[in-house]
Amino acid sequence: MNSEFPKGFLWGGATAANQIEGAWNEGGRGPATSDFARLITKEIRATEGPYDEHVPHNAASKEMVEDMKLHPENWELPKRRGIDFYHHYKEDIALFAEMGFKVFRMSISWSRIFPNGDDDTPNEEGLQFYDHVFDECIKYGIEPMVTLSHFDTPLHLAEEYGGFLSRHTVDAFVKYVETVIKRYKGKVKYWLTFNEINNVLSNPFTSSGIILDGAPTPESGNNYLGNWQLKFQAVHNQMVASALAVKKCHEIDPNAKMGNMLCRLENYAESAKPEDQLQVLFEDHFNWFFTDVQAKGEYPYYMQRFFDENDIHIKMEPDDEKILKEGCVDFITISYYMTYVMRYKGETVPKPTGRLVSDIKNPNLKMSAWGWPIDPIGFRITLNHIYDRYHLPIFISENGLGAVDHVDENGYVEDDYRIEYMKAHIEQMHEAIKDGVDVFGYAWWGPIDLVSSGTSEMTKRYGMIYVDYDDYGKGTGKRSKKKSFYYYKKVIASNGADL
Ligand code: P53
């Protein structure tokens, strides 16, 4: 068997506008929900509980948003700063090119194009910024892959319309999509609709623009994040928006392709008890559901019982089912970070947890400093499951390790732990390809250090390029190459043969 990856394999890295750009109020950009995501440090997690359990992921209530507007000095809001990619994109893309990137996954900030999300005309300065970014990529032969919405709904749509709870937001999204696909036709061939669409369940604020009443408390935990009726309605509207985006893409640019993006949760049973395995099935359904609709174009049979027994009623417009059928994605993308352990909860009908990290530890796996289990073999398993289910080409839109890096006296980071993680995951991805799974590319999450999505920390670094900023935006912003930079460069140069 060939030790290389398939010819033309798209090696590269992935980012998101709200975690890198900064310049949140420059160039005519309007505010987005991500500008109201607060820093959640280790100290805050220690007093308020792990962020995914007690401090809801990226949540902001009406009261918090108001206070952040009136007293921004009282809040630490790192996504407003990002890593200042807005002013450094040339330098950063040159470094990606030096590593040999074939693909750069990034997102467009919707409120840079339409400051309120639903303005009559687009903001030309915002459109020009992305023209420059794409031109820079193309100059080096790097294919841009662009996420249309990555956890940064325009704030105006969130405040006035409840974000994706309203069809007004769907219409505004479609107009935005039409605008950017027309503008960047010929430059962008790969598009993705909603980043980790399933994270609506745990992250309704930044993801879907749903602002809830009342501040989260340790007691309220994830319940604070709204009821299922609300969230599944927003999900439905986003599914329709996603299908309409696929249709627009095909109409406007027949050479372009549109993919989904699922945060893949691969689940293991805690024991060989059938009940634990049943729990795996339940949890799997809540994860597959999103891709089943986006790739197969209809609601899967298993959701009906969940909806019926939980009194969930999805309001559909007359054409919705037709739109979903006609707007199936061309390829599948996933983020893969870890696996989850399931124990039976005694329910006949499942309840989605909306958890981001498993509450049951897997004793067989090591964990990252943020408690994320490291499971390369799970990656091979998950790729086989996906291909078996959809038979569509797969792109890995995210995989990576968040870690604390130490800069030595020479200003160098020897991140062998990151290299080890990368090597193990690439090896297992290769095994999956040998199994017959059609994987056409791999994007490392955060090839350059960026602001964390979940906690807004800079301390949680993913990069092969170090960025000299701390959690509070202090530092020079200087970029430097870590040991993993040279490793990834070698991997790409050998098309995966030299690991
Ligand atoms: P951070 C949780 C679990 C898995 C993926 O996450 C997740 C999250 C959200 O925290 O999100 C994706 O920065 C997301 C990226 C994000 C990345 O994973 O919390 O698409 O925006 O940065 C890593 O460590």
Average pLDDT along the chain, 499 residues, taken 10 residues at a time: 86 98 98 95 78 63 91 96 98 98 98 98 98 98 98 96 95 98 98 94 86 60 64 95 98 98 95 95 93 98 92 95 98 97 85 72 96 97 98 98 97 97 98 98 98 95 98 98 98 97
Q: What is the dihedral of CA 268, 271, 272, 275, to 10 degrees?
A: -80
* 228 Cβ contact partners less than 8 Å away, ≥ 6 residues apart: 310, 312, 352
In the reported structure, the alpha carbon of residue 13 is separated from the centroid of ligand 1 by a whole-number distance in angstroms of 14
* Gap between the Cα atoms of 101 and 80, Å rounded: 27
In the reported structure, the alpha carbon of residue 454 is separated from the centroid of ligand 1 by a whole-number distance in angstroms of 6
* Gap between the Cα atoms of 60 and 68, Å rounded: 10
Are 376 and 395 in contact, with CB atoms under 8 Å apart? no
* Gap between the Cα atoms of 417 and 401, Å rounded: 9
CA 137: distance to chain centroid? 21
453 lines ligand 1 (CB under 6 A): yes
* Gap between the Cα atoms of 280 and 342, Å rounded: 6
398 lines ligand 1 (CB under 6 A): yes
Q: What is the pLDDT of residue 138?
A: 98
Residue environment code for 244-280, b if the CB has 16+ CB neighbours within 10 A, otherwise e: bbbbbbbeebeebbbbbbbbbbbbbbbeeeeebbbbb
* 250 Cβ contact partners less than 8 Å away, ≥ 6 residues apart: 256, 258
Ligand 1 pocket check: which of 79, 152, 196 to mutate, most ligand atoms within 8 Å of Cβ?
Answer: 196
> Phi then psi for 147, rounded to 5 degrees?
-85, 130
* Gap between the Cα atoms of 352 and 290, Å rounded: 13
Taking CA atoms only, the protein residue closest to ligand 1 atom 11 is 453
Q: Which residues are marked as active site?
A: 196, 398
Question: Which of helix, strand or coil describes residue 334?
Answer: strand
Ligand 1 pocket check: which of 453, 457, 458, 471 to mutate, most ligand atoms within 8 Å of Cβ?
Answer: 453
Furthest-apart CA atoms within the chain: distance in Å: 65
Taking CA atoms only, the protein residue closest to ligand 1 atom 9 is 454
Taking CA atoms only, the protein residue closest to ligand 1 atom 5 is 263
Q: What is the assigned CATH class of domain 10-493?
A: alpha beta
* Gap between the Cα atoms of 312 and 326, Å rounded: 25
* 216 Cβ contact partners less than 8 Å away, ≥ 6 residues apart: 54, 55, 56, 59, 61, 224, 225
CA distances from 456 to 17, 18, 78, 180 (A): 13, 10, 6, 28
16 lines ligand 1 (CB under 6 A): yes
Q: What is the pLDDT of residue 53?
A: 55
How many other CB atoms are there within 10 angstroms of residue 294's CB atom? 27
* Nearest C-alpha neighbor of 331 from the set 429, 434, 437: 437
356 lines ligand 1 (CB under 6 A): yes
449 lines ligand 1 (CB under 6 A): no
Instruction: List the end-to-end C-alpha distance of the chain, in Å, as a whole number.
Output: 16
Question: Which of helix, strand or coil describes residue 436?
Answer: coil
471 lines ligand 1 (CB under 6 A): no
Taking CA atoms only, the protein residue closest to ligand 1 atom 21 is 453
CA distances from 47 to 34, 77, 455, 478, 481 (A): 23, 19, 14, 33, 35
454 lines ligand 1 (CB under 6 A): yes
Q: Which amino acid is at 248?
A: K
For 6-60, the DSSP string reads PTT-EEEEE--HHHH---TTSTTPPPBGGGGPPP--HHHHHHH--TTTTS-TT--
* Gap between the Cα atoms of 339 and 358, Å rounded: 8
The domain segmentation of the chain, as residue ranges, is 10-493
